[in-house]
Amino acid sequence: MSSNVRVTRDGGILTIRLDRAEKKNALTVAMYQAMADALKEADGDDGIRVVLIAAEGDTFTAGNDLGDFMSRPPTGPDSPVLQFLGALASASKPLVAAVDGAAVGVGLTMLLHSDLVYASERASFRTPFVDLGLVPEAASSLLLPRLIGHQRAARMLLLCDPVDAAEAHALGLVAAVVPVEDLEATARRACERLAQKPPGAVRHTKALLREAGHATVHERIAHEAQIFASRLASAEVREAIMAFFAKRKA
């Protein structure tokens, strides 16, 4: 288990907490593995009724730690990042997220697999894949237009425009926007309510809400991952990453 991911259990609620606030909770390979393991644990334990995903500090996650990611890019379905995305897509228990501050890249795309997302008033959402010479991942090229429509999804995925909390709520990306001080309590109350409901009914209702699109989501994750991996070796990505670290325009 990564020291930058804290996994705790309180009754039927399993909390996965990103704990790398000094680096804006940028995700490393070790963090992906820890989150994948926690989600698999939750799915195999009948005592766990719901999973809460939260983060320390004022940034939900800045996305991938680019240095770590480029030194150990995903190479196949057993890669920690794809284990995590697969576990998200396969999760049979409800997933609830509490988002404070920026959710960048996978910080947003992971939320598309969550059942209830609560955001603070200062939350923001951005998918900068194209700006980095990359393509969307986590089946976001399928799930985001399905959720908010093609035009709005194109604005986020092609233009990489950020979305603030109020717009995210209007678009249906989040269930509610609450003051920062109420965020985690609000998300936890939802978890407690879910944990008290009949687990079989909850599980089957979640499956129905996915509209039998589960296999398609997995196929899209795999297809995106193939293109994503090829893009990682491109000159465009090398230049974008160099510009990122040099704090200059690519």
In a domain, 205, yes or no: no
Average of pLDDT values for 222-250? 87
Give the pLDDT score at 213. 57
pLDDT in tens, 98-153: 999 999 999 999 999 999 999 999 999 999 999 999 999 999 999 999 999 999 99
Asked if residue 164 belongs to a domain, the reply is yes
Q: Tell me what pLDDT residue 212 has.
A: 53
| Spatial separation of the C-alpha atoms in residues 203 and 63, rounded to whole Å | 29
Q: How many domains is the chain built from?
A: 1
Note the pLDDT tens digit of each residue in 53-83: 999 999 999 999 989 988 888 888 899 999 9
Q: What is the pTM of this model?
A: 0.90
Residue 237: predicted pLDDT: 86
- DSSP H or E segment with residue 123: none
Mind listing the pLDDT tens digit for each residue in 161-188? 999 999 999 999 999 999 999 999 999 9
Is 182 part of a structural domain of the chain? yes
Looking at the predicted structure, is the pLDDT value of residue 215 above 90? no
Classify residue 14: in a domain, yes or no: yes
* 247 conformational bin, left if phi > 0, alpha if psi -120 to 50, beta if neither: left
pLDDT exceeds 80 at position 216: no
CATH number at residue 21: 3.90.226.10
In the chain, % of residues over pLDDT 90: 74
Q: Provide the residue range defining the domain that includes 102.
A: 5-200
Q: Is residue 30 part of a domain?
A: yes
Average pLDDT, rounded, for the chain = 93
Task: Give CA–CA dist 171/151, Å, rounded.
Answer: 12
The answer as to whether 51 is a domain residue is yes
Q: Give Cα 19 distance to the centre of its chain.
A: 15
- Determine the Cα–Cα distance for residues 116 and 213; give it in Å rounded to an integer: 18
Q: What is the pLDDT of residue 214?
A: 58
Q: List, for residues 5-32, the tens digit of each pLDDT value.
A: 999 999 999 999 999 999 999 999 999 9
Q: Is residue 191 part of a domain?
A: yes
Taking only the tens place, the pLDDT of each residue in 78-99 is: 999 999 999 999 999 999 999 9
